[in-house]
Amino acid sequence: MTRGALVRLILILIVIGVAVTWGYWTGLVESGTTQPIQFPHKTHLDLKLACTTCHYRAEKEAVAGRPPTALCLGCHMGGDTQSQEIKKLRAFGETGREIPWRRVWRLPSHVYFPHRVHVTIAEIKCQTCHGPMESLTRPPEAPLKILAMDDCIACHEKLKSPEGGGKAAAEATKMAARRISLDCITCHR
Amino acid sequence: MVEIDDLHERTLLAPIAHTGRGFYWAVAGLSLLILWGVLAYLVQFSEGLGVTGLHQPVSWGFYVTNFVFFIGISHAGTLISAILRLSKAEWRRPITRMAEVITVMVLFIGAGQILIDLGRPDRLMNVIRYGRYQSPLLWDATSISAYMTASLTYLYLPMIPDIAILRDRLGKRKLLYSVLALGWTGTEHQQRVLNRAIAIMAVLVIPIAISVHSVVSFVFSMTLQPMWHSTIFGPYFVVGAIFSGIAALIVAMILFRKAYGLQDYLKPIHFRYLGQLLLIMALLWFYFTFAEYLTGYYGAEPEEMKVFWAKFTGPFWPFFWGMVLCNFIIPISCLVSLSRHTIGKVLAASLSVVVGMWLERFIIVVPTLSFPRLPFPQGIYSPTWVEWGETAGSFGIFALFYLLFTKFFPIISIWEIREGREGVKEVEERLISYLPGEIEEKT
Amino acid sequence: MQFTRRGFLQALTATAGAAVLLKGRPSKVGQAAEDVERWATPEEIFVPSICQQCPGGCGLLVRTLDGEVAGISGNPLHPINRGTLCPKAFGGLQLLNDPDRLKGPMARAGERGSFRPIGWDEALKIVTARLSDLRTKELSHTVAVLGGQYRGYRDTLWTRFSEAYGTPNYIRVRCLAPEKPALAHHFMQGVTAPVGYDLAKAQLILSFGVSLLEAWLGPVHNAQAFARLRRSSERPRGWFIQVDPRRSPTAIKADRWIPIVPGTDGILALGIANAIIREGLYDREFVEEHTFGFEDWVDGSGKRHLGFKELVLRDYGLLAVSAATGVAVRSILEIARSLASIKPAVVIGERGPAYGADDLHTRMAIHSLNALVGNIGVPGGLLIQGELPLAPLPVAKKDEIAKRGLAQPRIDGAGEEQYLLTADTPQLLPERILKKNPYPVNALFLFATNPLANHPAKEAFAEAMKQIPFIVSFSPFLDESTAMADLILPDHTYLERWQDDQVTHLAGFTCFSLAQPAASPLHQTRNTADTMLGVAKALGGSVAESLPWEKYEELLREGVKGLFQAGRGYVTTLHAEESLRKVLERQGYWVPEFKDYDGFWKALLQRGAWWDPTGIPVSRKALLKTASGKFEFYSTALKEVVDKAVKREGKTGPFFSALGAGKEEDLLFLPAVPIAPAEETKSFPLRLNTYRLLSRPTGGGRNQPWLLEQPAVHVEASWEGWVEIHPATAAAAGIKEHDSVWVESAKGKIKLPAKLYSGTLPDIVHIPLFGGEGPNPNDLIGNETDIFRGFGLLNTTRVRIRRA
Amino acid sequence: MALWGMVIDLDRCTGCQACVMACKAENNVPAVGAKEAKRGRIISWMQVLTETDEEHHGEKTRFIPRPCLQCDDPPCTKVCPVYATYRNPDGIVAQIYARCIGCRFCMAACPYNAKYFNWHTYQTEKPGQNPDVSVRPKGVVEKCTFCHHRLQKARERALAEKRDFDPNDYVTACAQACPAQAIVFGDLSDPTSAVSKLAASPRAFKLLEELGTKPKVIYLSEGEGRG
């Protein structure tokens, strides 16, 4: 290797190193999350289950949350299985403990995002924010989409405008005596 | 090293060509101050503003005082040089450059105080991205950046011919000087354009400068706080700014006169003129201060009086009376008669005014915050080493940059001096044109 | 308050599942290794609980998110506080999450004060082995249990355990008075049930040093009553006079503050009585028909006795009273006239610490004003409160060892000699333990008390505890006393455990609160009640038979059955429903709400409290239970006690001597407070008055930063104690605001920052029983108590101050 | 649109600080510690001020609980250079922590000293906090928001339950806690609300009314007098 090539290589390595460090530091690159069970979203959604079948809290509460183990066991109890993952699931069921899912999607703590309004009133598809979850054969290591404030604002602006407001906007206006809001403290807390 | 023939050029370029031991000592000393400041800021950056002496009612302290003070000093410069230039005062020639440099240096440092003062300096860009034009702070940002641009230009334009001299005469930094000289050759056309540009800038820079300090005063007077909410604050601040600016300029002049042996250029007459200017400003400052406090006293609003008495007899009396002493009594007594010991007297007055004006800024910022309207637990503000450090560092940076400037560019405009000497005739003609013509007796 | 109601109804549906959810959920510690992260605003359940920060007994609604406590608010249904709270309640959050809590049982490792963690099984084995060893050696009586400020079934459990095990030494070290009827009420009215005051309906409140708005029984209840006195739609603004050595926040809020020399409240009361009687302003009808001993009287033997009227007119002339109390004659007259003319008026003179050495007579003197203006048994006056109809537990079985043990005298000497009338005399404990008199203590149990910090005899306690070979502490924190222990079996904090509260004071109604754990235990701690049930079971025999419950909640469930069967009262409900029930009950109907006990129990868990608002609150008959059926200015009941003691011990016996032998005998049974001559004051010219803050009435709570940071509003203070000095006194001593000041008494000295406070008489300095880190006023206060109740004298110490 | 306001009856107030502590628990307001407290940096969105009439040597003392007064013409919002504080359509003066640059101009401008600064990182997220309110980082200004998150949640609940929003569903933590019920919270734009009726009392006054800030926290004075 010539000296020039070596220098170039070192330079490239430094650049990559700096970029990666910076990425970690600013949170653009997140370390992968491994889940206790290799849950395949695709298999379940191919069975024509809706997202809210399992993530039912999304319709009731601010946070979608993980489904309780008991819900999984509702289908996966009984019968023989070859799947290691289902065996793991049953093992959790037997101890009576919840599966220690690791959280992947996380909004900054100063953001208030109520799922239920967005799911039940605005009827926004989950994929709008979460990305193509239906295509996953194993748990995502990182969010499929990274949202910024502008993404929220863009949507709110669109729906707030009279022409953009579909059924959702009208309903929201009527119900809460408040339009889809662009007021900062609606989401910031 | 190319031999420099012109005696004037040789004297004025000497600091750039040769560097003595004193320079290194000065740089070392100033670097220590700056190091202190940098260290203080690093501590503050990682720990939060809690390392300062600021607290709940007194949320502004040294940094804001320094901000107002430095921005005030910046008026020295440009305003004086611009006014003198426009009024074609011939004695201005060795002074203008020094004044303009002060302005530019100090503006950056003044604006930097705000950055130091921010709790979240990482979000500074929010001011640009989400700026709200209702806030006097944004007016500040706007007018200060305008002033920076204007005064930088105003400093740079008259430097072009000198840079060209440096490019031609000085052996070193050829590239730098060639670029900065913008191909100046001194043709008549160039001269004409330059003079026109300088004249325009001089006119422009005066309203901008006045706006800057008016706007700085609005930061206080636009609130409802006692002894801040005053209509007089705009002109009061501007007067104070010019006052402190002249003082700072005089101090700088005397220092460089001594250090670089510029006695031939900066003569007692210059100091006498500037001293008289300072005297006028001292009287004007006193007039404003008197009017301000007398009005407050006569209104006798309880909230105003709380702050008023805190300054007169309360915990802030040393600062208040110190300010009166430094801004009025000392300068007046020094400046009434300048026939003898001119330079010494002017220096004493100027130093005193620099200190006094800093005290004035302090006495405006802190006491009002120390005495809130509601029965709030009060606290007396006492700065920590961090604030002292950053203040010292700020002064250090100012001095160091000023010093470095003199190592790169002549601190007295060579071409303007030359022009002055060559233009004696022109001046004579102009003088004559002021006077009534010779009266021809009608027969 | 629609909001809270709606919120509560939603909470009800949610709580239905809460008990089930909490049952059998492993503690957080068990899952800690799994690194379970909270999924932000998960399932929100409101669990009713009881605040244990003071004896107020307020109902809480604890907001839990997946079993983690995330907030506290008042239980809107709870009759004591009706959804509101005092500042201390919120400190509970910080108490629960205190990082310095003990994480599990600990055993002493070598020297006292060093510990090693052990398992619960091992710990219980150690306790059981020790207890059973002492029992077989017939030394069961040498086990002493020191209890603190609590009530209800935890008290029942300890009493029962002590009885079954066989020790008479269940001793309470309390900082506030027990809520049984005060002795003055008992002797003058013959009542055995607690007496309350109808503050909410009174038009004038005359308070003798009662810190009504700070640390007096139920602060929330008091504040509500005060608010109604001040502003209510149905009547004009009420009056409130505060007699207090210090301009406390209560005095600030009063219409009139009367500064007084500490300990002379009784003299002032008698001065006021003098003025009322002289001006003929007293309630003649009540006095004539319903009181005894007002006029001079002749007994069966023909002996003439002094009457209250004569006593007052003879001994309590206004000039003498004014000189002794420091209250101007004009003020005395004005108070007397207001008191007699504004109706209904109520005079309150109850507080934790004693007024002075002659506490009983002081209280009697104050209380006699209530009779003088006829405030007994009328709305806005005194109220009687019923007992809770809890189911009686089966009688504790005592085997021979227990019987022999119980026959031993109590180590603290309570109920004997001069302490005939007191229930507990902890102040004597250290000395007696050290002297092994009447026997040595072989084991000491510390439950909810910290005498090494909070008792004036704390140094003596420390010495005494060194002598005790086996000390068990149940404290969840490593406090001063716990540091001396050999074994620590940490209790849950109150949001983590099953508990009950039986409020029988002040409110004019009986109330039972029940709380289930609101949070899963954060650490390996255990409810002490469960621990002791376990110990009893392990001890076997009659001890186990007397405490047959597996879990504390079973004990609660058994006792609470009585409320279900009582045929009165109801589980708290919404206000509208309550009003309807009250109307019905007044007409003699009582509608059972629940078919079976299960339903009742479930409802009690969901709503938090049972209460009986329609008992017998306003009833002259219920309030005057003396032999004569009258209010006795001259207490025949006290005379009976004294006569019996004299018969037993003679006139030289300790009880009679302590009462003041040699006094005119009638004065013992009348509310006569001697006017003491001025004291020699040269070396200690100032009086020390200690007081309790609203933010920390029990002195503890150094683990509650919010409360420590803003402990008071009348002075600017934060995080550390202080001494309030009159500006003139301070000036004379060259002391300025915030200066460090040495406060010295005969006992010791402490250094505190000075607060110049004009709200005091110049010769009194005030120190709050602050309870944070730093100087402790117990270092100054002598271990003195009043004769009858045995309560610490916290305001009689003399001190001097100098700049530090 | 509702106009949220508060009435504080000084005659009922006992200075107990229940409102203060309720606020701290509800809004994750940190205790700053002994050292910081001594330096005058206690954060207390709701603060009980003790006003002593100096002419009477402390005889006339009053306790004034002071939240953010949620001015209709707030001096603080005008000076904020980045819209981190503004008056929202509900009349609540909002404070956006993620936007604030920490210049403290609003603190200097507020005549009520209702704004507090995070001089240090006083706390991080931990158990026992209210997850509805964010934990503020160092270097930003914070203040009382009338427990705005409760309004958010109440609104959202109404929306999800497909019913009209009921103003009674929303009350601040301080008003909820006050044992003397000296603090009443509600909709000032509704003349039938309790808070509107009290605000019309002859005892009603506003703090520093002369400054023209139009506060929506209205006080009722002590002493005799109707209302």
Sheet holding D217-220, edge to edge: D183-187, D4-9, D217-220, D204-205
The full DSSP string for B172-232 is: S-HHHHHHHHTT----HHHHHHHHHHHHHHHHHHHHHHHHHHHHHHHHHHTS--TTT--TT
Task: State the alpha helices, DSSP H only, in A3-140.
Answer: 3-26, 41-46, 51-54, 57-60, 69-76, 84-95, 115-116, 126-130
| Helices B233-259 and B188-221, packing angle to 10 deg | 130
pLDDT at C454 over 60: yes
Closest Cβ opposite residue D152 in set A109, A110, A186: A186
* Tens of pLDDT, residues B183-200: 888 889 999 999 999 999
Segment among B208-212, C779-783, D182-186 with least mean pLDDT: C779-783
Closest Cβ opposite residue B56 in set D81, D103, D116: D116
The total of structural domains in chain A comes to: 1
D226 in any annotated domain: no
Closest CA to C283 of C291, C329, C630: C291
Closest Cβ opposite residue A103 in set C26, C31, C37: C37
Give how far Cα C361 sits from Cα of C184, C357, C793, Å.
Answer: 8, 10, 15
What average pLDDT does this structure show over C347-369?
Answer: 81
B and D touching (3 or more beta-carbon pairs closer than 8 Å): yes
pLDDT at position B237 is 93
When pLDDT is cut at 50, 70 and 90, the band that residue B352 belongs to is very high
Query: What's the longest Cα–Cα distance across chain B?
Result: 90
* 10-residue mean pLDDT series, chain D (227 residues): 90 93 94 90 93 73 93 92 89 91 93 94 87 90 93 83 85 94 93 92 91 93 71
Alpha-carbon gap: D81 to the closest alpha carbon of chain C (Å): 33
Give how far Cα B37 sits from Cα of B366, B398, B400, C287, Å.
Answer: 22, 12, 13, 82
Closest CA to B76 of B50, B44, B54, B100: B100
Alpha-carbon gap: C13 to the closest alpha carbon of chain A (Å): 15
Contacts of C68 (CB under 8 A, 6+ apart): C38, C519, C520, D127, D128
- pLDDT: which is higher, A63 or C4: A63
Tokens, residue B150: 């204007």
pLDDT at B440 over 80: no
- The three-class DSSP label of residue C437 is coil
A2 in any annotated domain: no
Radius of gyration of chain A (CA): 22
When pLDDT is cut at 50, 70 and 90, the band that residue B252 belongs to is very high
CB A127, CB A69: distance < 8 Å: no
What average pLDDT does this structure show over C282-303?
Answer: 89
CB D17, CB C713: distance < 8 Å: yes
Half-sphere exposure of B412 (CA within 13 A, CB side): 29
- The three-class DSSP label of residue C691 is strand
- pLDDT: which is higher, B290 or A189: B290
Which residues in chain B are closer than 8 Å to D36, comparing Cβ atoms?
A: 50
Q: Do C81 and D179 touch (CB under 8 A)?
A: yes
* Tens of pLDDT, residues A123-133: 888 888 888 88
* Tens of pLDDT, residues C601-614: 999 999 999 988 77
CB A185, CB D129: distance < 8 Å: no
β-strands C798-803, C764-768: how paired? unpaired
Helix (H) or strand (E) holding C4: helix C2-22
Closest CA to C623 of C192, C292, C284, C206: C192
A73 in any annotated domain: no
- pLDDT: which is higher, C128 or C34: C128
pLDDT at position C6 is 42
| Helices B174-181 and B160-169, packing angle to 10 deg | 150
pLDDT at position C25 is 35
When pLDDT is cut at 50, 70 and 90, the band that residue B83 belongs to is confident
Q: Do C41 and A98 touch (CB under 8 A)?
A: no
D92: CATH? 3.30.70.20
Closest CA to C194 of C561, C513, C623, C611: C623
Closest Cβ opposite residue C42 in set A65, A100, A102: A65
- The three-class DSSP label of residue C93 is helix
Q: Do A63 and C39 touch (CB under 8 A)?
A: yes
pLDDT at A172 over 50: no
Half-sphere exposure of C586 (CA within 13 A, CB side): 7
- The three-class DSSP label of residue C721 is coil
User: What is the number of CB-based contacts under 8 A between chain A and chain C?
Assistant: 26
CA B102 to chain centre: 6
Give how far Cα A168 sits from Cα of A162, C27, D29, Å.
Answer: 12, 44, 36
Contacts of C280 (CB under 8 A, 6+ apart): none
End-to-end CA distance of chain C: 53
pLDDT at position C785 is 76
CA angle B221, B223, B227 (to 5 degrees): 55
Residue with tokens 């600013």: A26
Residue with tokens 């709580």: C15
Q: Does D60 touch chain B (CB under 8 A)?
A: no
pLDDT at position B32 is 95
What average pLDDT does this structure show over C333-358?
Answer: 83
* Chain B partners (3+ C-beta pairs within 8 A): D
Q: Does D188 touch chain C (CB under 8 A)?
A: no
Closest Cβ opposite residue D17 in set C94, C230, C713: C713
Residue B439 has a CB neighbour count (10 Å cut-off) of: 6
Q: What ipTM was estimated for this complex?
A: 0.88
Closest Cβ opposite residue B225 in set D81, D111, D138: D111
pLDDT at position A40 is 87
Alpha-carbon gap: D83 to the closest alpha carbon of chain A (Å): 10
For C695, counting Cβ atoms within 10 Å of its Cβ (0-12 exposed, 13-18 middle, 19+ buried), the class is buried
β-strands C106-108, C115-117: how paired? antiparallel
Provide the CATH number for the domain formed by B32-418 in this structure: 1.20.1630.10
D146 in any annotated domain: yes
Which residues in chain A are closer than 8 Å to C45, comparing Cβ atoms?
A: none
What average pLDDT does this structure show over C666-691?
Answer: 84
Task: State the alpha helices, DSSP H only, in C665-791.
Answer: 666-669, 705-709, 727-732
Q: Do B219 and D105 touch (CB under 8 A)?
A: yes
CB B397, CB B34: distance < 8 Å: yes
CA B331 to chain centre: 18
Give how far Cα C701 sits from Cα of C94, C265, C307, C489, Å.
Answer: 9, 31, 48, 20
Rounded distance between C-alpha atoms, residue C135 and residue C540, angstroms: 12
Give how far Cα B23 sits from Cα of A181, B15, B393, C345, C762, Å.
Answer: 62, 10, 18, 88, 67
Tokens, residue D145: 């928001």
- pLDDT: which is higher, A137 or B351: B351
Among D140, D143, D152, D161, the residue to mutate for chain A (most A Cβ within 10 A): D152
What average pLDDT does this structure show over C330-359?
Answer: 84
Closest Cβ opposite residue D156 in set A114, A185, A189: A114
The total of structural domains in chain D comes to: 1
CA angle B346, B198, B210 (to 5 degrees): 60
* Tens of pLDDT, residues C10-27: 444 344 333 333 333 333
Closest CA to C211 of C249, C240, C184, C265: C249
| Cis before C777 (ω within 30) | no
* Tens of pLDDT, residues B10-55: 778 888 878 888 889 999 999 999 999 999 999 999 999 999 999 9
* Tens of pLDDT, residues B225-249: 999 988 999 999 999 999 999 999 9
Helix (H) or strand (E) holding D185: strand D183-187
Alpha-carbon gap: B136 to the closest alpha carbon of chain D (Å): 6
Nearest CA in chain D to B384: D39
Q: What share of chain C is helix, strand, coil (3-state, %, to 5)?
A: 35, 15, 45
Q: What mean pLDDT value characterizes chain D?
A: 90
- The three-class DSSP label of residue D190 is coil
A169 in any annotated domain: yes
Tokens, residue C425: 């005399």
Closest CA to B402 of B174, B189, B119, B99: B99
CA angle B212, B216, B217 (to 5 degrees): 120
Alpha-carbon gap: A98 to the closest alpha carbon of chain C (Å): 9
pLDDT at position C28 is 35
Residue C631, beta-bridge partner list: C291
When pLDDT is cut at 50, 70 and 90, the band that residue C569 belongs to is confident
Share above pLDDT 70 across residues of chain A, in percent, rounded to a whole number: 82
Give how far Cα C458 sits from Cα of C144, C154, C428, C481, D100, Å.
Answer: 17, 25, 12, 9, 52
Segment among C264-273, C575-584, C706-715 with least mean pLDDT: C575-584
- pLDDT: which is higher, C575 or B40: B40
Q: Domains of chain C (ranges plus CATH)?
A: 2-100+509-518+566-612 (2.20.25.90), 199-380 (3.40.228.10), 686-803 (2.40.40.20)
Q: What mean pLDDT value characterizes chain C?
A: 84
When pLDDT is cut at 50, 70 and 90, the band that residue C308 belongs to is very high
CB A168, CB A122: distance < 8 Å: yes
Residue with tokens 């949001």: C495
Our separate counts of H helices and E strands in chain A read 11, 0
Give the single-character DSSP code of C26.
P
Query: What is the number of residues in chain C?
Result: 804
Rounded distance between C-alpha atoms, residue A100 and residue C266, angstroms: 67
Rounded distance between C-alpha atoms, residue B7 and residue B41, angstroms: 46
Contacts of C21 (CB under 8 A, 6+ apart): C45, C67
CA angle D216, D217, D220 (to 5 degrees): 130
* Chain D partners (3+ C-beta pairs within 8 A): A, B, C
Q: Do B119 and D51 touch (CB under 8 A)?
A: no
Closest Cβ opposite residue B56 in set D41, D81, D102: D41
pLDDT at position C50 is 93
Nearest CA in chain A to C34: A100
When pLDDT is cut at 50, 70 and 90, the band that residue A27 belongs to is low
pLDDT at position C8 is 42
Which residues in chain D are closer than 8 Å to B119, comparing Cβ atoms?
A: 100-104, 117-118, 138-141
Interface of A with D in 3-42 (CB under 8 A): none
Interface of D with C in 155-184 (CB under 8 A): 166, 168-171, 173, 176-182
Which residues in chain A are closer than 8 Å to D152, comparing Cβ atoms?
A: 112, 114, 185-186, 189
A and B touching (3 or more beta-carbon pairs closer than 8 Å): no
